[in-house]
Amino acid sequence: MRKKYRFVLLSIMIVVVTGGLFWINRAQVNTDGKKVTKVENGKTLIVYYSRTGNTKEVAKLIQAQVSGELVAIETLDDRPANYAQEVKQNEQEQEKSLLPKLKTQISDFDSYNRIFIGAPTWNMALPQAVVTFLDQYNFSGKTVIPFNTNGGYGEGATFSQIKKGAKGAKVLEGLSLKGGEETNGILLAIKGDKKVEVSKEIDKWLTKIGQK
């Protein structure tokens, strides 16, 4: 009789363990049937470069959902306040591969294992300050998640540049959002109802890539 009870108990345990493994495996697949990278324990860093405040707002909305340290990428020398002058200087930096020096320094960078990197699209590419940031740190073994704001032309080469610059990192699917249009006098666009809408988009994106 005891042997029978032991057999029944063992059978129940096998079913429970197998079922648990099944649900764990299901938790690693999103609604599209694609495997996603699950959040691991560790520190989160959210860095961003922003001129008109749109990328900054997205960074803050991401922080509200995943926590983590929020850090602005700032150059050592002031950037031109005039839009036309900024465009000209940026184009020259991109064409000549000039990397502006940064005021921003992250001494404990190695302690972060998940890093969100946000930037606007400038001349269909990254602002050179973000290229400097990518060049300064060792991303090996980290998870990098790009995000972008733009004036309506998409992320351009920004995501591919981040993937190339973050050597040794696992780079996840990025999020690109419509921001302001400085050429038309529209600066901070992500506010009010638009900000609420963007927050929902961020929530869907983070869930899709397994970062919530």
- The C-alpha atoms of residue 144 and residue 170 are separated, in whole angstroms, by 6
**Average pLDDT, 10 consecutive residues per value, the chain (212 residues):** 44 40 36 44 91 97 98 97 90 95 97 98 95 98 98 96 98 97 88 97 98 93
Bridge-based pairing state of the strands 143-150 and 170-171: parallel
Domain boundaries, the chain: 1-35, 37-208
| Cross-strand partners of 177 | 149
**pLDDT at residue 166, rounded to an integer:** 98
**pLDDT at residue 83, rounded to an integer:** 85
For 37-208, give the CATH class: alpha beta
Q: Which residues of 56-91 are buried (b: 16+ CB within 10 A; e: fewer)?
A: bbbbbbbbeebebebbebebeeeeeeeeeebeebbe
Q: Are 35 and 172 in contact, with CB atoms under 8 Å apart?
A: no
**pLDDT at residue 40, rounded to an integer:** 53
